Chain A
């Protein structure tokens, strides 16, 4: 390859349009990132945000980041195509040999110098990714934020980078890292990540010492999720490292990826472990996270699992999903007598659950029957309209729903039966969480059974080829309406749970944005896979809560949909099947791209019928 490289032409004359396009895309991407993450502007001074942020490290940092990625990709492509000469044509001389060849003082200068460079780089990263600092801010403020706790986390990162370099020191001193037992890598990763997690922990005060940690902080530290996240990440890295080592061994003739054999006992143990964690872990969370666990994560898991039946199983696009959620919530409010429209009798939220299921299901069937006969994309727009109608009714039909001021003082769940009296206390989110667990687990089991039954197979057949499915005697309309109604009733149940916990209802909750958010949970995790949807819901609902909690990260709550929109496009381009896809769904997406069948029940777009 290297023999064909024409060295008479200077390297920059070999740049082609593609390379300029790469760098330009990188720059544009950096600019978009900078604009996306900046502060909010105002129409009155339209370019304020851009003007103010132009002068800060923020924008420059992102631009450099984008340009660097563009340049890097260009370099890689040029090397790959054999247009540019590799910078090191000769085999690389190990650092150790260079070190051994240098004198003692020179060696320490080199090591010290590289350490300083690493630390400075880390400080710069910490500053670029730090909170937004206006150019108008005084130097004092900038310095304060610069020295904010997080910087320490990045310092540790710098040390880690440096110690990777210090690997070479081991070579020099003849203590080879590779001769150490393998578990030492795991231990090292664990210790390192714990250190990093702890120092990056915003609970810690700027001065890092154990005495400075107040008892309450010490408690929360180990219940602090990022620490665990870093540990898990480090363990995964270490494991993949070890695995690579193994595959590089002489036994590499065997297939590199051996299928994981799941024995029945392993499966039982997994479920037991999951159950144990689901039961025990929430007890150790702070109350912010307990509330978030119920209101942000639990309810949205239920909603996402329900929407998954519509989008994932049946392949229909429902954009008015939140309307059924609202129906459930307003049914609860109606039967508690909190709405202007009085019910014939008052009901406890427990008893409302079946009523909400019936109401939401009826609405689903009434809406689905006319529209599901038609081309699938009409369903999307009709459900969108339906969601909007429900919102307008909740907001403006004051005589029935109370209108935009909302509804207050809804009752909570309570049991009053056969001498047993218990009332759920809104101040104790955990009691609701366990109740939710008691609903969501059966729902998941039920949906899983449904998906593996005749119904699920019919859904798959309709998704993949509706005409063929119908010719085999499957009543497509029936199964599509069924999926639609099941999804709707799940949302109705979620509505009851929200109303009973929060105690107030505002129409502004039930806007289209929420439908889109739920749709993203389903798509991000992997439509059609219950596990995937749960992973997506937990992660995507946890992340905004986390970012809101740590407000210094510079996240603005109103930006959520900005990122979600970008995520949707990126997912559809690069991984339409989601993070944890179901096997069948993934194959459908691949098949559809090859022109075999379809991956949704929306009707084909490539196949034309003679008209």
Chain B
């Protein structure tokens, strides 16, 4: 039982990272970024290629410092790849529509189009079969606690995800960029009158979410390997997490991911049917929407219809 909760927590941390991308963009644009799954996928591919080429001459990393180096640089490389893709998505699928003040349906459809374009471009260029990633560290069990097993991977993701979230929270709440993001989220028109460059702020919002998504892609790539459609399921679940925590709410997304992970995995202990995970997750989504559409922490900036 405890094992399932642990598994849920650590998977949930990945959801949290991805959910941040959804929630940031939602806060600023009031739109679900359907192309966010491809940010994760790109991050995963970048991480795969980075590890593939950087570690080409060693199968097992001997030194702790070296594997730490590979993890840190890998997260950065994946994050930057995710950032670039997120900015490209904003530039090509969102900005032309925003300039024209298009209806919401148009944004959703163009984001879906961008997502499918990227997905299949990667499938075409790099093949449509999954591939395992070179492991930057040996994934052995470190501690066994109440029947639950902490593996090395769990520790890595715990530390990395918490660190990334603390940094993001700092950026959003303390820096100038964060202040302009919050200003645009509150009221774009007034913010632009106050001298905030709205276009640049939106791009930086996508970039921030993209970095988190790309980093999450790195961990998904290490854990499950890569394939061109690797982004779809985590992103869908991450969206659920964002709604669970209260979409538009940055801290809500962080908590929502972990809660969703636990809620998703714990019942498997009794059901013993791993494929039920998703069914549970979406039932949770429908239930939240029914009973508490503003999520656990409430929509900080949103409005309920």
A: residues with CB less than 8 A from B are 35-36, 38, 40-44, 46, 49-50, 311, 315, 317, 319, 367, 370-371, 373-378, 380-382, 384-386, 388-389, 392-393, 395-397, 512-513, 516, 519, 523, 556, 558-559, 561-562, 564-573, 576, 588-589, 592-595, 598-600, 602-606, 608-609, 611
User: In the complex, are the beta carbons of A598 and B226 less than 8 A apart?
Assistant: no
In the complex the two chains form, is A389's CB within 8 Å of B278's CB? yes
Inside 8 A of B236's CB, which chain A residues have their CB?
Answer: 381, 384-385, 388
Q: Which 4 A-B pairs have the closest CB atoms?
A: A568-B113, A565-B116, A565-B117, A562-B120
List chain A residues, Cβ under 8 A from B100. 593
B49 contacts A564, CB within 8 Å?
A: no
B117 touches which of A374, A382, A566 (Cβ 8 Å): A566
- Point out the residues of chain B lying under 8 angstroms from A595, CB to CB: 101
Interface residues of B in 248-305 (CB under 8 A from A): 273, 275, 278-279, 281-282, 285-286, 289-290, 293, 301, 303-305
Given the known A-B contacts A375-B305, A562-B121, A565-B119, are A382 and B286 also in contact in the complex, defined by CB atoms under 8 Å? yes
Q: Is B128 an interface residue (CB 8 A)?
A: yes
Q: Can you show 19 pairs from A to B with CB atoms below 8 A apart? A: A36-B124, A375-B305, A382-B282, A385-B285, A558-B120, A558-B123, A559-B120, A562-B120, A562-B124, A565-B112, A569-B117, A576-B102, A576-B103, A599-B105, A602-B104, A602-B105, A604-B104, A605-B104, A608-B187
Max chain A Cβ within 10 angstroms of own Cβ: one of B105, B118, B239, B293? B105
Give every chain B residue within 8 A of A395 (Cβ-Cβ): 275
The interface bits of chain B over 119-133 (1 if a CB of A lies within 8 angstroms of the residue's CB, else 0) are: 111011111110100
Find chain B residues with CB under 8 A from A561 CB.
116, 119-120
- Which of the residues A374, A381, A523 comes within 8 Å of B239, measured between beta carbons? A381
Q: With the chains together, A588 CA to B105 CA distance in Å?
A: 12
Q: Please tell me which one of the listed residues A49, A371, A516 contacts residue B125 in the complex, with CB atoms under 8 A apart.
A: A49
A588 to B103: give the CA distance in the assembly, Å. Answer: 9
A36, chain B: closest CB distance, angstroms: 7
Interface residues in B196-245 (C-beta closer than 8 Å to A): 226, 232-233, 236, 239-240, 243
**Taking the complex as formed, is B2 at the interface, i.e. its CB lies under 8 A from any CB of chain A?**
no
User: A602 and B108: CB pair below 8 A?
Assistant: yes
Of the residues B105, B121, B301, contact of A36 by C-beta under 8 Å = B121
Instruction: For B5, list chain A residues within 8 Å (CB).
Output: none
Q: A380 contacts which chain B residues (CB < 8 A)?
A: 32, 34, 108
Q: Contact at B112–A606, with CB atoms within 8 Å?
A: no
Distance of B182 from chain A, by nearest CB (Å): 14
* A572-B282 in contact given A36-B121, A375-B305, A599-B103 (Cβ < 8 Å): no
Question: By CB atoms of chain B within 10 A, which of A374, A378, A572 has the most?
Answer: A572
Q: Which residues in chain B, 10-36, are within 8 Å of chain A measured between CB atoms?
A: 29-32, 34
Q: Indicate which residue in B118, B124, B286 contacts A558 across the interface (CB closer than 8 Å).
A: B124
Mark the stretch among B68-76, B90-98, B134-142, B147-155 that contacts chain A. B90-98
Q: Given the complex of chains A and B, what is the CA–CA distance between A255 and B132 in angstroms?
A: 67
Nearest CB of A to B33, in Å: 11
B302 to chain A, nearest CB (A): 8
User: Cα distance A36–B93 when bound, in Å?
Assistant: 18
For B126, give its contact among A38, A43, A384, A393 (CB under 8 Å). Answer: A43
Cross-chain contact B303 with A611 (CB below 8 angstroms)? yes
Q: How far is the CA of A594 from the CA of B115 in the complex (A)?
A: 28
Minimum CB distance partner of A384 in chain B: B236
Query: CA–CA, A595 to B304, complex, Å?
Result: 21
Chain A's closest residue to B278 (CB) is A392
Say yes or no: A41 contacts B127, CB within 8 Å: yes
* Alpha-carbon gap, A44 to B49, bound state (A): 10
Chain A residues closer than 8 Å to B232, beta-carbon distance: 512
**Given A565-B118, A598-B103, also A605-B31 (CB < 8 A):** yes
A524 to B182, CA, bound (A): 37
Q: Is the interface of A mostly helix, strand, loop or mixed?
A: helix
Cα–Cα, bound, A38→B49 (Å): 21
Chain B neighbourhood of A573, CB < 8 A: 96-97, 110
Q: A44-B131, A561-B116, A565-B118 in contact; A386/B104 too (CB < 8 A)? A: no
Chain A residue contacts of B285, Cβ below 8 A: 381-382, 385
* B124 in contact with A40 (CB, 8 Å): yes
Residues in B neighbouring A319, C-beta threshold 8 A = 112
Contacts of A377 in B (CB 8 A): 31-32, 104, 108
Contact across chains for B103 and A41 when beta carbons are under 8 A apart: no
In the complex, chain A residues whose CB is within 8 Å of the CB of B116: 513, 516, 561-562, 564-565, 568
Are the C-beta atoms of B108 and A567 separated by less than 8 Å? no
**What is the count of residue pairs linking A and B with beta-carbon distances less than 8 angstroms?**
200
In the complex, what residues of B have CB within 8 A of residue A602's CB?
103-105, 108
B residues in contact with A588, CB < 8 Å: 103
Q: Is the interface of B mostly helix, strand, loop or mixed?
A: helix
Which residue of B has the minimal Cβ distance to A466? B305
B105 and A600 contacting across the interface, CB-CB below 8 Å: yes
Picked from B32, B126, B273, the residue with its CB within 8 Å of the CB of A41 is: B126
Query: Which chain B residues lie closer than 8 Å to A605 at the CB level?
Result: 29-31, 104, 107
Q: Bound state CA distance, A569 and B232, in angstroms?
A: 19
Residues of A within 8 A of B92 (CB): 569
Select which of A40, A385, A393, A592 is within 8 A of B128 by beta carbon.
A40
B285 nearest CB neighbor, chain A only = A385
Shortest distance between the CB of B60 and any CB in chain A (Å): 21
Selected contact of A569 from candidates B114, B127, B239, CB within 8 Å: B114
Q: Which of B97, B108, B115, B293 has the most CB of A within 10 A?
A: B108
- Write the B162-201 contact mask toward A (1 if CB under 8 angstroms, else 0): 0000000000000000000000000100000000000000
Q: Which residues of A contact B102 (CB under 8 A)?
A: 572, 576, 589, 592-593
The reply to whether A569 and B121 contact each other, CB–CB distance below 8 Å, is no
Closest chain B CB from A577 CB (angstroms): 10
Closest chain B residue, CB of each to CB of A50: B125
Which A residue sits closest to B34, measured CB to CB? A380
CB distance from B192 to the nearest CB of A (A): 13
Residues of chain A with a CB closer than 8 A to B64's CB? none
Given the complex of chains A and B, what is the CA–CA distance between A389 and B107 in angstroms? 25
Q: With the chains together, A370 CA to B187 CA distance in Å?
A: 29
Complex contact B278–A388 (CB within 8 A): yes
Give which listed residue, A317, A565, A592, contacts B120 with CB less than 8 A: A565
Report the nearest A residue to B247, measured CB to CB: A378
Q: Smallest distance from the beta carbon of A326 to chain B beta carbons, Å?
A: 15
B109 in the interface (beta carbon within 8 A): yes
Interface centre among B49, B114, B121, B236 (most CB of A within 10 A): B121
Q: Taking the nearest CB of chain A, how far is it from the CB of B18, in angstroms? A: 14
Cα separation A445 to B106 with both chains bound (whole Å): 28
Q: A385-B285, A562-B123, A594-B101 are in contact. List 17 more A-B contacts (CB 8 A).
A: A38-B124, A42-B126, A43-B226, A315-B105, A367-B286, A371-B286, A371-B289, A375-B304, A393-B279, A523-B109, A556-B124, A568-B112, A569-B92, A569-B114, A592-B101, A602-B103, A605-B104
Tell me, in angstroms, the Cα distance from A35 to B125 when the chains sit together.
Answer: 8
**CB pair B113 A396 closer than 8 Å:** no
Nearest-CB residue, chain A, relative to B38: A565
Question: In the complex, what residues of B have CB within 8 A of residue A371's CB?
Answer: 286, 289
Q: Closest CB-CB distance, A608 to chain B, in whole Å?
A: 6
Q: How far, in angstroms, from A561 to B233 measured CA to CA in the complex?
A: 18
Residue of B nearest to A317 (CB): B108
A603/B104 contact (C-beta < 8 A), A35-B125, A43-B131, A573-B96 known: yes
The listed residue with most A CB atoms (<10 A of its CB), out of B32, B52, B106, B243, is B106
CB contacts (< 8 Å) of B121 on chain A: these are 35-36, 562
Q: Verify A600–B112 contact, CB threshold 8 A.
A: no
Q: Bound state CA distance, A595 and B103, in angstroms?
A: 9
Asked if B105 contacts A317 (CB within 8 A), the reply is yes
Q: Which residues of A contact B125 (CB under 8 A)?
A: 35, 41, 46, 49-50
A378 to chain B, nearest CB (A): 6
Kindly state the separation between the CA atoms of A558 and B121 in the bound complex, as whole angstroms: 10
Closest to A610 in B: B303
